[in-house]
């Protein structure tokens, strides 16, 4: 595996189930058991009820682009070689929104659109860490 030079997320007690699910190439996010609504980013209480009656559930990894930007300038190590790249807010089919990159849209990311269906792709960046990225749905 090539050396990864971008920032690497660190799991903590709250986020560990999310990162472990990605390493297994599935995506689990939290659900409020009182409202049955999914939410992301990982936290100790439901943002809907402020209850700790929450669980980790496997989601489809499918969704659509809610908002996006195309990055044309970034001189940080690891990013400059990928220009231009797309950063998007993806609304999962289950309702939660997650920010990530949209890949497999080069050489012309100008074709990315709000509402475009996407699906998760798992990028193993180290032996311990896997990132969720999204590509246009097949």
Q: What is the pTM of this model?
A: 0.93
The string of pLDDT tens digits covering residues 63-111 is 999 999 999 999 998 999 899 999 999 999 999 999 999 999 977 888 9
Please tell me what DSSP assigns to residue 94. T
Task: Give the integer Cα–Cα distance in Å for 84 and 70.
Answer: 6
Which residues have CB under 8 Å from 117's CB, separation 6+? 62, 63, 64, 136, 137
Q: Domain limits of the chain?
A: 16-136
Please tell me what DSSP assigns to residue 69. E
Q: Contact, 97 vs 38, CB < 8 A?
A: no
**End-to-end CA gap in the chain:** 27
Strand ranges (E), the chain:
27-32, 38-39, 54-59, 62-71, 85-92, 97-102, 117-124, 130-136
The string of pLDDT tens digits covering residues 20-65 is 999 999 999 999 999 999 999 999 999 999 999 999 999 999 999 9
């Amino acid at each position: 595996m090539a050396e990864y030079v971008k920032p690497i997320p660190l799991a903590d007690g709250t986020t560990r189930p999310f990162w472990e699910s990605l390493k297994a190439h599935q995506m689990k996010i939290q659900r409020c058991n009182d409202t049955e609504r999914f939410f992301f980013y990982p936290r100790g209480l439901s943002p809907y009820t402020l209850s700790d009656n929450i669980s980790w559930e496997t989601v489809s990894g499918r969704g659509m682009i809610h908002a996006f930007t195309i990055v044309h300038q970034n001189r940080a190590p690891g990013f400059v070689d990928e220009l231009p790249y797309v950063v998007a807010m993806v609304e999962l089919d289950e309702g939660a929104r997650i920010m990530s990159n949209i890949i497999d849209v080069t050489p012309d990311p100008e074709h990315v659109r709000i509402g475009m269906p996407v699906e998760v792709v798992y990028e193993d960046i180290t032996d311990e860490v896997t990132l969720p990225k999204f590509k246009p749905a097949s």
